[in-house]
Amino acid sequence: MKDKRILLGISGGIAAYKCGELIRLFVRAGAEVKVIATRNALQFITPMTLQTLSRNRVYTEMFDTSGDITPEHISHADWADMMVVAPASADIIGKFACGIADDALSTTFLAFDKPVFIAPAMNTRMYCHPVVQRNLASLRSLGVRVIEPVEGELACGSSGKGRMAEPADIVEFITKETE
């Protein structure tokens, strides 16, 4: 991970709270991290937390009005060595699989031509739904590496497969895949 530039995409789901630790582990391993968060992700974790831990501004909007004229989805794609999306909600998985680019994260995904890793997180019934499985299969066929969710207690109170892999396991998976 040393000297790697990681673009961390965070989509909406309770597992977004784990992204603080994920950023911390990437930085501790020597990586630089920039974050793109969906609006729904920001319901679960704040931009201030993400900016403090990554030491970089968090991008949330497709159209930045700060005065920088560089299209951010292109500049981020050029900057990063890899893209990691954690948690990857059913919504963002579907957008990626269908080529829908209607927010900063999905637009950046379509502009990205380097390794992409996604860590799905959702209710078991959603994860097992044939549409989600079809979308994951489609992404795998395009070379996206899926960090499988684990079984365990879910935010809704039920148990099953759908819980996002722990941050340390995500870092370990990516490290092995990129060595």
**Selected catalytic residue, list 19, 98, 128, 156:** 156
Contact by Cβ (8 Å): 151, 160: yes
pLDDT tens, N- to C-terminus, the chain (179 residues): 899 999 999 999 999 999 999 999 999 999 999 999 999 999 999 999 999 999 999 998 766 555 554 556 677 888 999 999 999 999 999 999 999 999 999 999 999 999 999 999 999 889 999 999 999 999 999 999 999 998 887 777 788 788 999 999 999 999 999 98
Query: Is the bond preceding residue 87 a cis peptide, omega within 30 degrees?
Result: yes
Query: pTM of this prediction?
Result: 0.93
Active site (annotated) includes residue 156 = yes
pLDDT of residue 82: 97
Longest C-alpha distance within the chain, in Å?
Answer: 47
pLDDT of residue 70: 55
Beta strands in 19-177 (DSSP E): 32-37, 58-59, 82-88, 116-120, 145-146, 150-153, 159-163
- C-alpha to C-alpha distances, 83 to 48, 68, 97, 150, 154, nearest whole angstrom: 21, 22, 15, 21, 25
pLDDT of residue 80: 95
Please report how many Cα atoms fall inside a 13 Å half-sphere around the Cα of residue 77, on the Cβ side: 16
pLDDT of residue 60: 86
